[in-house]
Structure 1
Amino acid sequence: MEKEIAPSRPNYFGEIGCWAERTQVHEAASLGQAQRLQQLIQSGAAINTMTMDCITPLHEACIQGQAQCARLLLEAGAQVDVRTVHGSTALCNACAAGSPECAKLLLEYGATANPTLTALTATPCTRPASEACSPAGSVDCVRLMIAGGAELETYDIYFGTPLHAACTKQHVECARVLLNAGANVNAARFHETALHIAAKEGNEDLIEALVAFGGNVYARDNRSRRPVDYTRPGSACATCLQFYQSTPLSLQELSRVTCRRSRGMRAEDSVCKLNLSPRTISYLSYH
């Protein structure tokens, strides 16, 4: 049974209309039953109804990657930035599900790429950019979030920055996309950098990528440990980090890192606009 909310009552989620247990609209959206959902909408079913966890049918559609159902709901007036009790928006769900179709659709309907802390959220909510690097996340979702203006230094209490999240989940390509877009390679979460995480995960490809973008192999965390201290002696990751500790970067690598530091994290974009020869631009480019 649904309970109507009085218009005068304060509502942190906007005028959602009512709350209830999971409805037929939730079920149809979750299962991708587009025809049934359309019939429910046409019959006047409430599309912004929330469960007790503040989950709307749009959340359900996006967490399952049901783009057609998400479109039907948005066209019918579904509120795009409603937050669950955990602070997640539908865009967070779409990115967590690794659904670029849903993410693109939500951004087209005005979804916020950088949702803020709300009065009902006790801890910083999970950000779409970080969710895009989750186990089911995708490079396409990361690119969409960057194009949508996602803040790459946004700090999540659980994962840290999106780059931290990518390294925790060992998404090498996601990490590269974030770094190319300007993510700070030495950003720290409790003094722990992405390079510490890559070393803990034993991922040599991540270590190589992070060092190429200026990752500090000497950085110490809150236990005064360097990344190499988290590797197994004799392992490929230990050998890799020991090599970088004892061997200077090449002239090309030093030039890239220096350019990045002097012209900002999005140095590559600005260098391409300078009056330099194509060969010089290619020399400074990470691509």
Structure 2
Amino acid sequence: MAPPGDPRRLCRLVQEGRLRALQEELEVAGGYQRPEMAGVFQRPAGDTLLHCAARHGRQDILAYLVEAWKMDIEATNRDYKRPLHEAASMGHRDCVRYLLGRGAVVDSLKKADWTPLMMACTRKNLEVIQDLVAHGANPLLKNKDGWNSFHIASREGDPVILRYLLTVCPDAWKTESKIRRTPLHTAAMHGCFEVVQELLDRCHYEPDCRDSCGVTPFMDAVQCGHVSIAKLLLEKHKACSSAADTLGAQALHQAAVTGQDEAIRFLVCDLGVDVDVRAESTQLTALHYAAKEGQTSTVQTLLSLGADINSKDGRNRSALHLACAGQHVACTRFLLQSGLKDSADLTGTLAQQLTRSVDLLQDFSHRAES
């Protein structure tokens, strides 16, 4: 049986909300009140019992620890999280309000410069966000990656929270991360259709705004398979379907890399994008990209849309070369069965690569069977 004051047992009592049992345990273990007791019951992560109470929404225990044992509400763990970070991140409004009422620092920073408001914006809990803002939380503060609270809320996809943040801080949308990604990029990538609508209606992002890699929100939507958002950006934001990133790759190429067959059909069949269009710097086609990543289904889709199986990139490599180089056995076999005209592709080093790929596959199969 664990001795009185055992940290694991104390944390378990807090998690289970057993206030009376916790009181008895602490009285036996301590027997007197002193501020330094805050450090006695730390877990390996550096959490105090206050962190544990705040994380699990035990407001009565939180109050008991602060008022009876004088535990420090600004105690930090090894990630510099304070109890307010924990309560905000889990959406425990009672704990948030209690800590704020006791004077907790509203814009305290944890590791990577996250504030409690940023943590709250990872949850769809408008009331907690409102409480923090009412106590002076600043939505414009940025973490180490350059994201503010509005940017984080855009990723989570709750338009009600975005409207609120725009109401209390109308310029919150005018933000870019350190790699120049906007909330519109983030919402498009994560498939947050209603948020994208809200951003297009209320904010003023430039059409085809680019991050540091030259990627636009339209490209983000396409490469993640969010066709409805891609259509919305075309209709309401006049996005360009043929825009290229810093490497000269277009949305079609990016969709081939991630294997988004529906998006590829949309680009080629509905928008008329050339299925064999080349990335400017590498001269790779979408078929090359798909083969390089071993996206067999996408290779099949591209060929069904008329992609040239024998086209070569700027280094005279075919899709088969790239599939073999990546040791993508299924993709290599499919390309071989799809009417290649140049059988010389399988000579020399390429043949060795293919043989190695097959050997690896067979070895894996034997191991799986045994």
Tell me whether the two structures share a fold, i.e. TM-score over 0.5. Answer: yes
Q: Distance in 2 between matches of 1:56 and 1:96?
A: 17
Quick one: structure 1 residues 57 and 125, their matched pair in 2 at CA, closer, same or farther if it must change by over 3 Å?
A: farther
Alignment of 1:130 onto 2:156: no
Alignment of 1:186 onto 2:208: yes
- Quote the residue 1:36 is aligned against: 61
Per-residue Cα deviation, 1:185-243 (whole angstroms, up to 9, x for no partner):
42211210000111101111110111122222232111212223333599443344454
- Quote the residue 2:163 is aligned against: 143
Match of 2:132 among 88, 106, 117: 106
Quick one: structure 1 residues 71 and 38, their matched pair in 2 at CA, closer, same or farther if it must change by over 3 Å?
A: same
Question: Does the CA-based 8 Å contact 1:25-1:40 persist in structure 2?
Answer: yes
Per-residue Cα deviation, 1:106-165 (whole angstroms, up to 9, x for no partner):
111111111046xxxxx434321121133x552222222222325323112368211111
Match of 1:223 among 247, 252, 271: 247
Q: Distance in 2 between matches of 1:228 and 1:152?
A: 29
Bigger relative contact order (CA 8 A; separation at least 6): 1
Alignment of 1:169 onto 2:190: yes
Give 2:64's aligned amino acid.
Q
- Quote the residue 1:75 is aligned against: 101
Give 2:66's aligned amino acid.
I
Q: Distance in 2 between matches of 1:169 and 1:234?
A: 14
- Quote the residue 2:221 is aligned against: 198
Q: Distance in 2 between matches of 1:87 and 1:245?
A: 45
Question: Does the CA-based 8 Å contact 2:184-2:196 persist in structure 1?
Answer: yes
Shift of 1:90: 0.5
The CA RMSD over aligned residues, in Å, is 2.7
- Quote the residue 2:87 is aligned against: 61
- Quote the residue 1:272 is aligned against: none
Q: Number of residues paired by the alignment?
A: 225
Give 2:264's aligned amino acid.
A
- Quote the residue 2:352 is aligned against: none
- Quote the residue 2:298 is aligned against: none
Give 2:160's aligned amino acid.
D
Q: Distance in 1 between matches of 2:194 and 2:111?
A: 31
Give 2:50's aligned amino acid.
V
Identity %: 23
Q: Distance in 1 between matches of 2:240 and 2:261?
A: 20
- Quote the residue 2:232 is aligned against: 209
TM-score for both structures, normalised by structure 2: 0.55
Give 1:61's aligned amino acid.
A
- Quote the residue 2:283 is aligned against: none
Question: Does the CA-based 8 Å contact 1:218-1:245 persist in structure 2?
Answer: no
Shift of 1:2: 5.3
- Quote the residue 2:50 is aligned against: 25
Question: Does the CA-based 8 Å contact 2:157-2:194 persist in structure 1?
Answer: no
Q: Distance in 1 between matches of 2:247 and 2:174?
A: 23
Q: Distance in 1 between matches of 2:59 and 2:217?
A: 41
Q: Distance in 1 between matches of 2:36 and 2:161?
A: 35
Question: Does the CA-based 8 Å contact 2:106-2:132 persist in structure 1?
Answer: yes
The 3-state SS of whatever aligns with 2:263 is helix
Quick one: structure 1 residues 125 and 182, their matched pair in 2 at CA, closer, same or farther if it must change by over 3 Å?
A: closer
The 3-state SS of whatever aligns with 1:140 is helix
Question: Does the CA-based 8 Å contact 1:95-1:137 persist in structure 2?
Answer: no
The 3-state SS of whatever aligns with 1:132 is helix
Q: Which stretch of structure 1 is more off in the superposition, 85-94 or 207-216?
A: 207-216
Give 1:229's aligned amino acid.
H
Give 2:190's aligned amino acid.
K
Question: Does the CA-based 8 Å contact 1:196-1:227 persist in structure 2?
Answer: yes
Larger Rg: 2
Q: Distance in 1 between matches of 2:121 and 2:129?
A: 6
Q: Distance in 1 between matches of 2:36 and 2:149?
A: 30
